[in-house]
Amino acid sequence: NAGVTQTPKFQVLKTGQSMTLQCAQDMNHNSMYWYRQDPGMGLRLIYYSASEGTTDKGEVPNGYNVSRLNKREFSLRLESAAPSQTSVYFCASSVQTTGILFFGPGTRLTVL
Amino acid sequence: EDKVVQSPLSLVVHEGDTVTLNCSYEVTNFRSLLWYKQEKKAPTFLFMLTSSGIEKKSGRLSSILDKKELFSILNITATQTGDSAIYLCAVSISNFGNEKLTFGTGTRLTIIP
């Protein structure tokens, strides 16, 4: 039982490049989330998926897209990376009716 | 706008001391308040509080919620170096049938041996 897994762990991009962050969970959770964590800003919600087939914007969605591929997988895409997207990205999942999130190990992304 | 504020931002104490971390909130459609501990990587869940005045306890950690005054505290007694971490407070908000978490910026706790 791996919980929430994310790939890659680290990534360096040049401005304008694109990439997809992958996330998968094996806990049969309905809801999945993408957060970014920046110093002094706490965790901020980018996008979430309350259930398979639905996605909604969070607090800071600009510059990102998401895909809920199936119940297990939720990917985050940066179409044209910008230095302001340098951050640590966490994927999380939860049983829909509670607020207890289970987090993946994070992806540290640097955009030059 | 929903807001979660934690204090202090950072705290340095000696091993064996007792610490109290604070979390206040201003949100609509409050459902619950959660505490997480973040060491080097992902946050891990500590407590979820939904009712005022009922203390949740796990070993040396305890937490309580005051829904009238809109705050929670996290206490750690007899601190150990392994308690060094960022402690995150989050409030779960009901939003059109879904729940979303709004996080505070965290309190960085450092325990000196």
CA distance A79 to A95: 30
Q: What is the pLDDT of residues A61-75, one digit of tens each?
A: 999 999 998 999 999
Q: Would you call B99 and A96 a contact, using CB atoms and an 8 Å cutoff? A: yes
* Cβ atoms B37, B107 nearer than 8 A: no
CB contact under 8 A, A101 and B106: no
Instruction: Name, in order, each residue with C-beta under 8 angstroms of A26's C-beta and a sequence gap of 6 or more.
Output: A1, A2, A3, A72
Minimal C-alpha gap between A50 and chain B (Å): 7
d(CA B89, nearest CA chain A) in Å? 10
Please write the tens of the pLDDT for every residue from B49-107.
Answer: 998 999 999 999 999 999 999 999 999 999 999 999 999 999 988 776 667 888 999 99
CA distance A6 to chain B (A): 11
Please state the rounded mean pLDDT for residues A5-14: 96
Chain A and chain B share a number of CB contacts under 8 A equal to 60
Structure tokens of A9? 């762990």
Bridge partners, residue A81, by sequence? none
Q: Answer left, alpha or beta for residue B29, where phi above 0 means left and psi between -120 and 50 means alpha.
A: left
CB of B44 less than 8 A from some CB of A: yes
**Poorest-confidence range of A2-11, A34-43, B95-104?**
B95-104
Contacts of B104 (CB under 8 A, 6+ apart): A42, B4, B5, B6, B23, B88, B89, B90
Q: Are A101 and B101 in contact, with CB atoms under 8 Å apart?
A: yes
- Beta bridge partners, B21, equal B74
* Residue of chain B minimizing CA distance to A42: B105
Q: What is the pLDDT of residue B96?
A: 66
